[in-house]
Amino acid sequence: MTNILAAGAVERHLRARRDTGRALLMPYVTGGVTPGWTRYLTAFAEAGADAIEVGLPFSDPTLDGVTIQQASEAALARGASTRRILADLAEAGDVGVPLVASTYYNLVLHDGPEAFCAALRRAGVDGLIVPDLPVHEAGELTGVAAAAGVDLALLASPATPRPRLEEISRRSRGFVYAVSLMGTTGERAALAASAAELTTRIRSVTDRPVLLGFGISTPGQAREAGRHADGVVVGAAVMRRVLDGAGPDDLRAFLATLRRALDQE
């Protein structure tokens, strides 16, 4: 394809899996949160993850609830940095599913979008989520990311009006990240009513995979979310367990329950 904004490895992989009828699962881990943290990646892949989101911790995570904030603080306190986390990933090698980095725009700007995207690729990361980079500010990064072969997934929220939703869907790569509710990341008692409505609206404007995130913490919620979206992102529910001391085996077991719930649908 000559189109510089063509979809990359993450989107090809997710589309292929979705097209087999599989509901997608993308668990999250904060890079550097524990010594040997990359062992979680292998466990996630073994539990049936279709992609893995790796958080590059930032000192001021303004869209994250308390769990991811604590995980970020813990990682930074251990000396985590973009450079070290990417070095860990390069050392860990291929875990069998695409890796999607997520971080705040300050860390992308730090060395500049080009150097940042190139560093991601060198570490084997093929996707990127930047929650404080809305579509109207993303021009500086979309072309650079695509040229580097990094799928930059944009977020859509329940408050996003339709014309903007179309633009987000058009410019997003990898998938469209549907923010299930008007709030921060974190576990919730129930799937928000806004989740289904937003997912329906996004699917009416694009056939790109739609992953629903924010507040999906139980097998029941994953199953319900899987009915609306192509898949789910699970972050805080994973990180709360990690912060409580759960190891890769515990997380493999937890994610397997989500995998089964998604597969039942």
Partner 1 sequence: MRMAPPWREPVPATGTMGEPRPLGRFGEYGGRYAPESLVEACREVDEAFRQARADPGFAAALAELLALHAGRPTPLTPARRLSQELGVQLYLKREDLTHTGSHKINNVLGQALLAARMGRRRLIAETGAGQHGVATATAAALLGLEATVFMGERDMERQALNVFRMRMLGAEVVPVTTGSRTLKDATSEAMRHWVGATGDSHYCVGSVVGPDPYPWMVREFQRVIGDEARGQCAAELRTGVPDHVVACVGGGSNAAGTFAGFADTSARFVGVEAEGGAGAARGRLGVLHGCRSLFLQDDDGQIIEAHSIAAGLDYPGVGPEHAHLRELGRARYVTVTDEEAVGAAVRLARSEGIVPALESAHALAWVIRAAGDGELAAGSTVLMTLSGRGDKDISTLKELL
Considering the candidates 64, 88, 126, 230, report the single residue annotated as catalytic: 64
Beta pairing, strands 176-179 & 127-129? unpaired
- Which one of the spans 2-10, 29-37, 153-161, 217-225 is the region binding partner 1 (CB under 8 A)? 153-161
Q: How many residues bind partner 1 (CB under 8 A)?
A: 44
Nearer to partner 1, 106 or 264 (CB): 106
Q: Check residue 159 for interaction with partner 1 (CB under 8 A).
A: yes
Nearer to partner 1, 90 or 253 (CB): 90
Report, in Å, the least distance between residue 19 CB and partner 1. Answer: 27
> Site for partner 1 (CB under 8 A): which residue of 2, 136, 189, 245?
136
Provide the angle, in degrees to the nearest 10, between the axes of the packed helices 236-243 and 248-264: 160
Q: Check residue 61 for interaction with partner 1 (CB under 8 A).
A: yes
Handedness of CA 107, 112, 114, 119 (dihedral sign): negative
- Which one of the spans 3-11, 24-32, 131-139, 247-255 is the region binding partner 1 (CB under 8 A)? 131-139
Report how far residue 264's alpha carbon sits from residue 225's, in angstroms, rounded to the nearest whole number: 12
Which stretch of DSSP H or E encloses residue 231? Answer: strand 231-234
Report how far residue 97's alpha carbon sits from residue 68's, in angstroms, rounded to the nearest whole number: 23
Check if 111 is active-site: no
Provide the angle, in degrees to the nearest 10, between the axes of the packed helices 113-122 and 139-148: 30
Q: Check residue 212 for interaction with partner 1 (CB under 8 A).
A: no
Backbone angles phi, psi at 138, to 5 degrees: -85, -5
Q: Check residue 133 for interaction with partner 1 (CB under 8 A).
A: yes
Nearer to partner 1, 213 or 248 (CB): 213
Report how far residue 114's alpha carbon sits from residue 49's, in angstroms, rounded to the nearest whole number: 29
Report how far residue 257's alpha carbon sits from residue 232's, in angstroms, rounded to the nearest whole number: 13
- Which one of the spans 106-114, 143-151, 204-212, 231-239 is the region binding partner 1 (CB under 8 A)? 106-114
Report, in Å, the least distance between residue 143 CB and partner 1. Answer: 18
The CB-side HSE value for 123 (13 A sphere, CA atoms) comes to: 25
Report how far residue 249's alpha carbon sits from residue 46's, in angstroms, rounded to the nearest whole number: 10
Q: Check residue 135 for interaction with partner 1 (CB under 8 A).
A: yes
Q: Check residue 156 for interaction with partner 1 (CB under 8 A).
A: yes
Q: Which of 141, 157, 131, 134 has the alpha carbon at shortest distance from 61?
A: 131
Check if 126 is active-site: no
Q: Check residue 66 for interaction with partner 1 (CB under 8 A).
A: yes
> Site for partner 1 (CB under 8 A): which residue of 183, 196, 247, 256?
183
> Site for partner 1 (CB under 8 A): which residue of 5, 9, 39, 73?
73
Q: Which residues are catalytic?
A: 53, 64
